[in-house]
Structure 1
Amino acid sequence: MSLTVQFYTILAMIGSGIWIGAALDTYHRFQPRDKKWNWLRFVNDIVFWVLQALLIFYVLLQVNHGEVRVIIFLALLCGFACYQSLLQRGYKKLLEYLITFFVGVTRMIKKLVSTFVIHPIKVILNLLLTLSKMIGRLLSSVLLFILGILLFPFKIIGVFLLQKVLKRIQAKMLTKLKGKAGIWKKPTNKVKDWIGKFKR
């Protein structure tokens, strides 16, 4: 490598070391480190470091066509140390400010969407539901009224036929009762005659 390429490589690796420090703090901010072992955290750690390695290798490809030397690791370490000593405190404050800002913007957007989109949609849906219920009740009342008009002649005919049937049944029962009364009269007359004989 020429001196220019080496210089650019060192600068790029120092920048990459600073990037790794900032990315590590960002990752720890969104991935809290608790004492309990968690397989998901373990997988996330592996993915994080693989992505960082791929990013550094891509930078190396762009700067010196992927040549790896000891000075590259020293430059990475120097960049990381520079971040830890000079930039970490300021970056963490900036990160917290950005998180607070984006959380506030997200809440504001959520409130705006709820106020101007979701709430009006709920009101419209409630009105449509109430209107549909009213229309359903009105239609059911009209249908029941029309059905009552259509069934009224059948109702009259049914009542008439039922009365006829009841009259016939009543007449038959009266006839049977009269027949039974005649049957009971004959024994009663015989008893009277027998009592009369004793009186004589």
Structure 2
Amino acid sequence: MEFSAQIKTFLLIAATGIFLGVLFDTYRVLRRCFRPSRLITSLADLIYCLIASAIAFAALLAGNWGELRFYIFIALIIGLAAYYRIASKQVMKLIMAVLKLIAKGWRMTKLAFVFTLIKPTKFIARTLIWPFRFIARKCAVWYKRWLPPPPPPEETRPPE
């Protein structure tokens, strides 16, 4: 393999290491926000490892047709280390800000839905039903007024 191809592969795998670091920080932030149980955390760890392996394998295939060399491991470690040393804290803050923005947008969407559809629909339904409820209440009062009084309770005597 030519030296320029090896340099391109090295840079691609280093970029893959950076991407895997961002992906892991995203996972860390999500895990911190949702605080799942130990079983869910173990399953999520397994899923992250599978996804990270698939990404690294795809990058390796794209870089040098899957040839596994020692400099590939060095490039991956250098990419991860550079990311964690330089940008991890800032990226985690950015991810937290994006998640907060998404949560705020979701709350605003729910409020918009409630105030544009649910509340007007309830108001219209109550307005349309009000005359019928009024008439039903009046009819119940009139019906009770015109009913004959109930018969007095019978006295129970023991048989003689």
TM-score (ref. length: structure 2): 0.73
Task: Report the 3-state secondary structure (helix = DSSP H, G, I; strand = E; otherwise coil) of the residue aligned with 2:87.
Answer: helix
Structure 2 match to 1:30: 30
Give % identity. 26
For the pair shown, which has the larger CA radius of gyration, 1 or 2? 1
Q: Which of 1 and 2 has higher RCO (CA within 8 Å, sep 6+)?
A: 2
Task: Report the 3-state secondary structure (helix = DSSP H, G, I; strand = E; otherwise coil) of the residue aligned with 1:124.
Answer: helix
Query: How do residues 74-153 of structure 1 correspond to structure 2 at under 5 angstroms?
Result: 74-130=74-130, 133=132
Give, in whole Å, the separation in 1 of the partners of 2:43 and 2:129: 49
Give, in whole Å, the separation in 1 of the partners of 2:77 and 2:16: 9
Structure 2 match to 1:56: 56
TM-score (ref. length: structure 1): 0.59
Give, in whole Å, the separation in 1 of the partners of 2:37 and 2:124: 50
Give the unaligned 5+ runs of structure 2: 137-160
RMSD: 2.7
Structure 1 match to 2:21: 21
Structure 2 match to 1:184: none
Give, in whole Å, the separation in 1 of the partners of 2:18 and 2:65: 21
Q: Greater helix share, 1 or 2?
A: 1
Give, in whole Å, the separation in 2 of the partners of 1:99 and 1:32: 12
Following superposition, the deviation at residue 54 of structure 1 comes to: 0.4
After superposition, give the CA deviation of every residue in 1:164-192 in whole Å (9 maximum; x if it has no partner).
xxxxxxxxxxxxxxxxxxxxxxxxxxxxx
Task: Report the 3-state secondary structure (helix = DSSP H, G, I; strand = E; otherwise coil) of the residue aligned with 2:85.
Answer: helix
Structure 2 match to 1:69: 69
CA gap 1:129/1:90 in 2 versus in 1, 3 angstroms: same
Aligned residues: 136
Q: Give yes or no for contact 2:29–2:92 (8 Å, CA) kept in 1.
A: no
Amino acid in the other structure paired with 2:82: C
Following superposition, the deviation at residue 8 of structure 1 comes to: 1.6
Structure 2 match to 1:163: none
Following superposition, the deviation at residue 24 of structure 1 comes to: 1.1
Task: Report the 3-state secondary structure (helix = DSSP H, G, I; strand = E; otherwise coil) of the residue aligned with 1:31.
Answer: helix
CA gap 1:2/1:122 in 2 versus in 1, 3 angstroms: farther
Give, in whole Å, the separation in 1 of the partners of 2:100 and 2:37: 29
Following superposition, the deviation at residue 127 of structure 1 comes to: 4.1
